[in-house]
Amino acid sequence: MPTVDADAHVIESMTTWSYLREGEERFLPIITEQTAGQKMRNADGRVQREFWVINGRVHNRDRNLGSNTSEESREMQEVSARLEHMDALDVDVQILFPTLLLRPIADNAPLEYALARSYNRWLAEIWEKGGGRLRWAVVPPLLSPDKLRDELVFGKENGACAVFMRPLECEKPLTDEYFFPLYEIASDLDLAICVHLGNGSFEVHDFFGRDTTFTKFKMPMIGCFHSLVFKGTPKKFPDLRWGLIEASADWLPFIINDLRQRLRRDGKRIDDDVLGANNIYVTCQVEDDLPRVIEAAGEDNLVIGTDYGHSDFSTEIEALRLLKTDNSLAPRVIDKILWDNPRALYGLG
């Protein structure tokens, strides 16, 4: 049975922005190093040294790098190195998501479009070298509605199988009608909308500052799921698939029960198969209480990822292999999580 790593990452480098066009040089991100002041530690306990500077804002670059992956692999300097590591991990296909773009980066349309366009062409080249094993989520220029279709078509024609979004975008929730044209295009192109753990709102991101990533990133994701189901947004686009990526799944029983009570109060009834009825897929973690999650949410809409390239609470580079040895799950359920479900979510052959 093939296996799909439903959540893997690339670490952006200056190569990522080498696809900027003539006249866009002013948008080129800069890598700078800290040479003085209080030292900050990354997720592995090492001193942080490199930072991105974009549009006058400073962003971490090496805070969340996984030491269990090589620089050549996580930055895609050598695609062959990535493929060899996937072989060692018994992974057939990885779905690639960005790293820098998990946080708010661009507050104006020309900058956002230039960076999204360059990133997408970098990923297209990686896909071409990957022999079909490296699929990816195209970054949409949300502040440039007139450019959305062209960019998504480019992604679809060059190995993209999803559209990358964060739980909050453009200072709006994903249930806002502003995003409906994007959802229609994605549906037409058979691209899933994949909401990755992160935050695209400058206001919310900056409000929490250095507070825990749980508050800044995970809570908006859980709220995003709640709002999508409560407001019925997925059912307005019945052919569109949704993925909620890297937020674990242990919260599903609680949120489904909360939705049940709120909908009942409004004289409505929640679907018996909440995820299936809304075409929503959720990434689980090997540490989740999966029998309890499956009892509440079913077994047909769970996928799993390694968070490859990162080092944080959600990272488990051996996740797919560990799931295979989970004695609490029937082998057919494991096969669904590793292949059937991600194949359905991402529209894989």
pTM score of the predicted model: 0.95
DSSP letter assigned to residue 41: B
Which amino acid is present at 315? T
CA distances from 16 to 102, 114, 344 (A): 15, 11, 29
Partners of 303 in beta bridges = 283
Tell me the per-residue pLDDT of 293-315, one tens digit each, with 9 for 90 and over: 999 999 999 999 999 998 776 67
Phi/psi region, residue 190 (left: phi>0; alpha: psi -120 to 50; beta: rest), is left
Looking up residue 233, the CATH number of its domain turns out to be 3.20.20.140
Q: What are phi and psi of 35, to 5 degrees?
A: -115, -10
**Residues 152, 188, 92, 221, Cα dihedral to 10°:** 80
What's the burial of 307, exposed, middle or buried (CB within 10 Å: 0-12/13-18/19+)?
Answer: buried
Domain assignment of residue 259, yes or no: yes
- The pLDDT value recorded for residue 53 is 93
Domain assignment of residue 171, yes or no: yes
Domain assignment of residue 51, yes or no: no
Domain assignment of residue 103, yes or no: yes
What is the helix, strand, coil percentage profile of the chain, to 5?
40, 15, 40
Domain assignment of residue 287, yes or no: yes
- The pLDDT value recorded for residue 258 is 97
- The pLDDT value recorded for residue 68 is 87
Domain assignment of residue 206, yes or no: yes
Closest CA to 124 of 242, 18, 5: 18
DSSP letter assigned to residue 65: B
Q: Which residues of the chain have pLDDT under 70?
A: 42-45, 210-212, 313-314
Partners of 163 in beta bridges = 138, 193
SS3 228: helix
On whether the CB atoms of residues 65 and 11 are closer than 8 A, the answer is yes
Which tokens sit at 101? 């773009």
On whether the CB atoms of residues 283 and 6 are closer than 8 A, the answer is yes
CA distances from 266 to 94, 230, 257, 274 (A): 41, 11, 15, 17
- Distance CA(95)–CA(137), nearest Å, equals 7
On whether the CB atoms of residues 297 and 276 are closer than 8 A, the answer is no
- Distance CA(233)–CA(179), nearest Å, equals 11
Domain assignment of residue 41, yes or no: no
146: domain range? 4-11+72-346
- Distance CA(300)–CA(344), nearest Å, equals 9
Domain assignment of residue 24, yes or no: no
Partners of 245 in beta bridges = 196
Domain total in the chain: 1
